[in-house]
Amino acid sequence: MPALLEITGLRTEFRVKGGTVKAVRGVDLAVEAGETLALVGESGCGKSITAASVLRLVPPPGKIVAGSIRFKGEELLELSEEGMRGIRGNRIAMVFQDPMTSLNPVFTVGYQVAEGLRIHRGLSAAAAEREAVELLTQVGIPAAIERIRDYPHQLSGGMRQRVMIAMALACGPELVIADEPTTALDVTIQAQILELLDRLMAQNRMGLVLITHNLGIVAERAHKTAIMYAGEIVESAATEALFANPLHPYTKGLLASLPEFGTPGEKLATFAGGVPDLKSDFVGCPFRERCPIGDAECGKANIEMREVAPGHLVRCRKVS
């Protein structure tokens, strides 16, 4: 059987003044039903654009220029816009990074949760509102029957994020893409949101793509992890294997930058230099200028992902 979501050779670019930004450069990913895939990398590495590409919501002047995105074997890049509207929010849902900018400030949260139910499931306004109350209760919003009359600005950050999750889950999606779902939330609310997603995944056997830079969350929650740098996947493996034996120098650096409990004053590891200009047509490894083991050969030819252990792939010529 095909994977729930299978991305192959995805390339997404933005034509801007001064050149073309190659934001996603040949990404391959796969997610199975009931599985959490964590997509990890520093800001600007292409995580959110990869997610937007799956739903064909890349903002202009961005454009998907190559690759394949298959959902249960169906090629999403070949669907009409009407066909994609039947997928978005229905079979594939997204929890956006900032609920305050993603929720419409002029509509109540109840109306916004119910909207997908009216569009995709054909419920009447009254039936959709009753379902919205049930969904808000399910995601842990107290007195939901009263909260449905509130506007987004009347809710806390944690409550707004729960509303976003309720909207994502309204139509019983088979796949949820969560883009930094716990950003700017305190650790207690973070844990509640992640436990909620875990519970709903187990109940509904949903797949989850968790986009984050928080490696602590990844270690606790993800079945598989893909590390992204400068628009490329540089390493992917089962999460336990990746944390136990990181292979790519970038992955090693990310893990080394984590503070350790009980070592006050310890200087954290850092990377010298910066991310390469994604408008340039550089050849070879994009990490080579910052890499502690890189050499001139790393810049002579593009480097393909290689499987160095069962299910453990890495994009580095120095790893055997």
Domains and CATH numbers, the chain: 5-91+208-314 (3.40.50.300)
* Minimum mean pLDDT range among 1-5, 62-66, 107-111, 262-266: 262-266
Mean pLDDT of the chain: 89
**Both tokens assigned to 44:** 């600007």
pLDDT at residue 183 is higher than 80: no
pLDDT at residue 127 is higher than 60: yes
pLDDT category at 78 given cuts 50, 70, 90 is: very high
**Both tokens assigned to 196:** 């909620």
Mapped onto helix, strand or coil, the DSSP state of residue 177 is strand
Do β-strands 5-16 and 92-95 pair in parallel, antiparallel, or remain unpaired? unpaired
Strands (E) located in the chain: 5-16, 19-31, 36-40, 62-71, 74-75, 92-95, 175-179, 207-212, 224-229, 232-238, 306-309, 312-314
Average pLDDT rounded to a whole number, residues 24-30: 96
Average pLDDT rounded to a whole number, residues 156-185: 86
pLDDT at residue 119 is higher than 80: yes
